[in-house]
Amino acid sequence: MASSNKRDTVLSVIVVSHNTRKLTAYLVASLHRHVRAYPKEICIVDNNSRDGSAWYLRKHHPEIDLVESRVNLGFGRAVNLAAKRCTGRYLWLLNSDCLVKSDVAAKMVEYLEGHLDVAAVTSRLVSKDGSFQASCRRFPTFGNVLFSRQSPLSRLLPARADYTLPDFDSPTLVDACACSSTMIRREHFEKAGGFDPRFFMYCEDTDLCARFVAFGLKVVYLPEAEVTHLWAESWRRNSWMRYYHHHRSIAKYFRKHFPCNTIKLGLLELMLVLGLGIRILLLPLRRRR
């Protein structure tokens, strides 16, 4: 295991990697350089990478608790596995394509320490050039999901915030967030049962936030905890698979949370299939740009 002083561990950093050796190496280096305020352990679940990720981590970072999965577990199942191994009071879920440039973990821990009714705090994400990346959203409904970032309507009406939420200047209560950089109180993660393993990738975070809210807990966007997210770098070569899992997870989310709306579910799934087909057909055109 990674930490030699488990009883003192405050923070468990959990990273799921899949063919992101260089990005994961940059992330680990940034964590060691900047995250120092609280005792920490780092657990990385490698989802059957083929690029030497596990070899690199074993050789250069023996201090890390490395889990080598022989199959790709997806995001939620991998995090659940790591959470059972970790001992920190707080679980910081970080994408392998993130970089930290200051001790943002300290700000997140301190916010959670001061707000016991908050189950999770999520970072402000920025691109390499410093531009804001939206990561928070309202809970999906049959109406507002049409205005998600993946929907053509969001490009026609970009000012609407029916689904994707804008940037905020101060800590703000939100419905749900992407777990690209999100810190969760362990006791609440366990109370909610962790991530639903039915979601391979995408929507598992929104589903978990829905369970937090059902328990009377809160999710907060913390803009002062800024993290650089090299968005798209980790899936650029397999973007069609990203779209496939994204659309499939949306369908699963609606089946789980709106099981009685048979007609609307049928229409939504038809739209998702058509949308996925159009995206896959357009991929060659995008790659030529």
Q: Cβ–Cβ contacts within 10 Å for residue 71, how many?
A: 8
Q: Are residues 74 and 154 in the same domain?
A: no
In a domain, 289, yes or no: no
Range of the domain at 12: 1-96
In a domain? residue 60: yes
User: Quick one: 183 and 146 in the same domain?
Assistant: yes
Say yes or no to pLDDT of 157 above 50: yes
pLDDT reported for residue 233: 60
Q: In this structure, are 200 and 277 located in the same domain?
A: no
Contact predicate 205/178, CB 8 Å: yes
Shared domain for 127 and 23, answered yes or no, is: no
CB 39 within 8 A of CB 10: yes
DSSP 237: G
- Same domain assignment for residues 162 and 225: yes
Domain contains 105: no
Predicted local confidence at residue 130, as pLDDT:
95
209 lies in the same domain as 130:
yes
Instruction: Please check whether residues 70 and 149 belong to one and the same domain.
Output: no
Q: Are residues 4 and 53 located together in one domain of the fold?
A: yes
pLDDT at 247 over 90: no
- Of the candidates 110, 108, 86, 17, which has an alpha carbon nearest to the alpha carbon of residue 58? 17
Beta strands 98-99; 172-174: pairing state: unpaired
Query: Is residue 159 a part of any domain in this protein?
Result: yes
Last residue of a domain, one of 68, 96, 124: 96
- Tens digit of each residue's pLDDT (9 = 90 or more) over 161-198: 688 999 999 999 999 999 999 999 999 999 999 999 99
Highest mean pLDDT among 109-113, 144-148, 247-251: 109-113
Distances (CA, A) of 7 to 86, 88, 126: 11, 8, 34
Residue 235 has pLDDT above 70, yes or no: no
pTM value surpassing 0.85: yes
Same domain, residue pair 134 and 218? yes
| Per-residue pLDDT, 158 | 58
Q: What is the model's pLDDT at position 163? A: 87
Would residue 288 count as lying in a domain?
no
Would the pLDDT of 5 be above 60?
no
Residues 34 and 51 in one domain: yes
Domain-terminating residue out of 96, 126, 155:
96
Verify that 219 and 245 share a domain, yes or no: no
Q: What does the angle CA 100 – CA 85 – CA 120 come to, to the nearest 5 degrees? A: 50
Residue 106 domain-assigned?
no
How do residues 6-64 score in pLDDT, each as one tens digit?
446 899 999 999 999 999 999 999 999 999 999 999 999 999 999 999 999 999 999 99
Q: What percent of the chain has pLDDT over 70?
A: 85
Number of domains in the chain: 3
Taking the alpha carbons at both ends of the chain, their separation in whole angstroms is 46
Q: In this structure, what CATH number is given to the domain that contains residue 36?
A: 3.90.550.10
Backbone dihedral angles phi then psi of residue 224, each to the nearest 5 degrees: -70, -15
- Read off the DSSP letter of residue 203: S
The answer to whether 183 and 121 have CB atoms below 8 angstroms apart is yes
The pLDDT, as a whole number, for residue 1 is 42
Q: What region, left, alpha or beta, does residue 185 occupy, with left being phi > 0 and alpha being psi -120 to 50 degrees?
A: beta
**Residue 259 pLDDT greater than 50, yes or no:** yes
For the chain, percent helix, then strand, then coil, each to nearest 5? 40, 20, 35
Q: Are residues 169 and 195 in the same domain?
A: yes
The pLDDT value recorded for residue 7 is 46
Domain assignment present for 103: no
For the segment 67-122, what is each residue's pLDDT rounded down to a tens digit? 999 999 999 999 999 999 999 999 999 999 999 999 999 999 999 999 999 999 99
The predicted pLDDT at position 151 comes to 61
pLDDT category of residue 246 using cuts at 50, 70 and 90 = confident
pLDDT at res. 253: 95
